Structure 1
Amino acid sequence: MSVQTKNAAAPTSQTKQTVYGILFAMSGSHLLNDSIQSVVPAMNPIFEQSLNLSFAQIGWIAFVLNMTASVMQPVFGYIADKRATPFLLPAGMFMSMIGLIGFALSPNFYVILLSVFFIGIGSAVFHPEGSRVAYMAAGNKRGLAQSIYQVGGNFGQSLAPVFTAFIFVPLGQRGALAFTIVTITGIILLLYVSRWYKGQIQEGRFSLKSRATAVQNAAPIHRKIKMAMGLLVFLVFARSFYVAGINNFYQFYLIQDYGLTVRHAQLYVFIFMFAGVLGTFFGGPLADRFGRRNMIFLSMAGAAPLTAILPFVPLALVIPIFFIIGFVILSSFSVAVVYAQELMPQKVGMVSGLIVGLAFGMGAVGAVLLGILADLYSIRFVMILCGLLPFVGVLTWLLPNDEKVRELTRPRT
């Protein structure tokens, strides 16, 4: 095996130690970045009342956010695979700050969409490079490293109901201006990470040039790898479709069918999302021990029976069932990223953007579709439909197991 091929197969193999300081810095910045994103769904009940938006318009807001934050991720990841760009991280946070200010001052639906576009682009810049830094700092603990990194983002997303209940209900739309402090903090933290990232490249610990040369000399990607990647994207899409339905519309279901107030409904959504934070954190280490494919299967097929019955249970059972669903279904969040990176180790940035980004973009398409269906039929119909999505998790057994992945991606001598 040539030195170049070996480097392509394991770009961080020169640094076996796990750099926890960088991982926690990235987790913190991920929390701040996704907190900004969570401001958008947190404002949905406010806009629905103050601007008389329809469910379809709320779906379009989610669509613009997720499509810009998602579809562009593989593009930025592909560019970063070709050329190291450490300072894209703080630049992305700056873009989010511009969008956030516009969002807080938006007078109508169309200015909201433009502002959300900037927030989405900032997030699209951030995520592929963030996953790359986590990969670089992981050492031999890739599952744990991705969990540490991703748990920050999921926790930031889980704060949307809290923002609604305690900031936007009393302060209204302009309360979003307070989050400029969050973006400034994130820029400062990411400047520190970017300097470490640049230093790793200068010291030759992570050479994109040698990796690019090795990729050119490597064998073509195996057909089974391509099929596995396609199926993985589909599975993540189904999971994202379900989560998009919960994040954007379940609060309205609680208000209409159970008679809860806007503030009270946020508590239930927060419990789901916070449980997802815990699931994300524990999923990575469990996958390191029991296998990536096994965790992906259990996270979807295990949650499916509960998601199916959720729309029919009495209010007293919603919280415990909701907590279990959130924990189980999001336990594969970081695992899917690591599985994709191990399928295509020469294209870490691109596949990270593909899994975290493009699949979530497809979830955004789902948000629009669900909004239209809610207007045509009812929120209850949408929640019943969403509950059936995790059953596609049984298709996980068509993915190659971890040992087969290592066999398929093993460099040829």
Structure 2
Amino acid sequence: MHRSAPGRYVTVTTAGEPFSAFVPVPLPPEPPVVWSAALRWRFDAALVALGRLDAVTALLPNAALLLYSFVRKEAVLSSQIEGTQSSLADLLLYEIDEQPGVPVDDAREVSRCVAALERGLKKLRGGLPLCTRLLCEMHEVLLTHPGGRGKTPGEVRRSQVWIGGTRPGNAVFVPPPADAVPACLAALERFLNDEPEPVPPLIKAALVHVQFETIHPFLDGNGRIGRLLIVLQLVADGVLREPMLYPSLFFKTHRALYYELLNEVRLRGDWERWLDFFAEGIEASATQGVSTANALLALVNADRDRIARLGRAAASALAVHQALQRQPIATSAALVKATRLTPATVNKSLAHLERIGIVGEVTNRQRGRVFSYRRYVEELAAELDAPA
């Protein structure tokens, strides 16, 4: 069906140059989305996949350990979409104050993305609903570092932004003028909280992501906050118990189409193609998450069996092995803290684990050595280095 653009253009003048900025109408889409049988099937398949992923939280004995790594995986992928070069190993090294293999700024960007999600979850579980205040707190965490100076961390923008081009006049897309942003966010907040009526959570997530990116409420970090919002909202609405989903894998793999479909909604109101793409991405991401979780569980179980054959050294080595599942790149000092074993016992355990090929020392130095649960890291990072 033919739709006009889901919003209106207003003329704005900056530095003497007039241009058109787009102000979206509040959700839900009007006229309503056309739900073909194929589109309904796509959302049903995505919900089944999310259900399987959520079951991982309840059924796998090491789900809490996996969560640490899965959250970091999403942060790495989302940041790669924005152009950072940090890998998962770089992030893990940065978090233990070791030099990553890329510029520190890139690793720090990803680390702040992790911290922003953790802040959002803490506030959500403390009783704060999904709202502008919560998003601003996440944004403050994301951009409170030297590189974020001048980008008003934690504040809704008070000046014009644009996407693509060198100025609003030649941009690919110009979001609403600053004075329209508060009203746009207020309407989005109402929709997020099921006013005036409830919307199925996965459909809501798909619609809200486009609307948030279209409003572009911050001077920087909109893409990362908008993608974190997908996972947060699914947790808030009870679809997922924990943020085990990493949808940015699909968005990164299909980055050109991702941006094209966001723009097609703004230009032509083509919600149906976006919804189909989004549901496909959620299904693929959730399925991959289950596959990765099962592969990691199989690896951990096989390694645990090998460690059990170490005899008297097995108990301490198993404790170190358990700690490495949460932090698969770690210093011996960090493992002492995590296991509450003595430094001598931890070092002996690491020597055993290194001898049987479970861990490897990555720094080649005598003091402050860093160890990696290599196959665990490789399994986690399997898709991260795929070309975008």
TM-score norm. by structure 2 comes to 0.30
Q: Which has the higher contact order (CA 8 A, sep 6+)?
A: 1
**Greater helix percent: which structure?**
1
TM-score norm. by structure 1 comes to 0.29
Bigger Rg over Cα: 2
**Greater strand percent: which structure?**
2
